[in-house]
Amino acid sequence: MNILITIFLLLLSLVSGSSTQKLYVNDGPSMSPTINNGDKMIVNLDISKGIFKDDIIIFKTEEKSFCKRVIGVEGDKIEIKESGIIVNNKLMFKSRIGDNLIKPQITIKKDEYYVIGDNVDNSYDSRFYGPINHKQIIGKVTKILHIQ
């Protein structure tokens, strides 16, 4: 059944001639339960209308592409404490933060985004590598196709 869905989506994108969408397959548990390992995602490559808080995005690093949720945009203040992730002085995500991840407050700059995985305790995200730059963003996830 999953193969049929994938084939259908690929054919649909070919027929529609859409070059602004791409099919991605999620790799790993960091976005669970929202997006599970192996789930397929339709990604809009046109990000000209902006990236906003709560968007799920695909972005690239030198090693590979990642799927994460945006929790901080320009002007937001992010702090990592023992209790979890603080955004603009509000505890937004409870998490088991080790001493090595506790970080002082930073302010997100223009064209920067702070991203985390929905599976906060099992995600390699901005807590480790800092904010990402706008140039790294491939696109926004617009549809999630869950595998059975």
- Locate the domains of the chain by residue range: 2-145
CA-to-CA distance for 19 and 98, rounded, in angstroms? 43
Q: Which of these is catalytic: 13, 64, 68, 77? A: 68
Establish whether 68 is a catalytic residue: yes
- Amino acid at site 131: P
Residue holding tokens 């995005």?
57
Active-site residue, selected from the candidate residues 13, 16, 19, 30:
30
Taking only the tens place, the pLDDT of each residue in 114-134 is: 999 999 989 999 998 999 999
Q: Does domain 2-145 have CATH number 2.10.109.10?
A: yes
pTM for the full predicted model: 0.85
Alpha-carbon gap, residue 112 to 68, rounded angstroms: 14
Neighbours of 142 (CB within 10 A): 12
Residues 12-60: pLDDT tens digits? Answer: 554 444 578 999 999 999 999 999 999 999 999 999 999 999 999 999 9
49 is catalytic: no
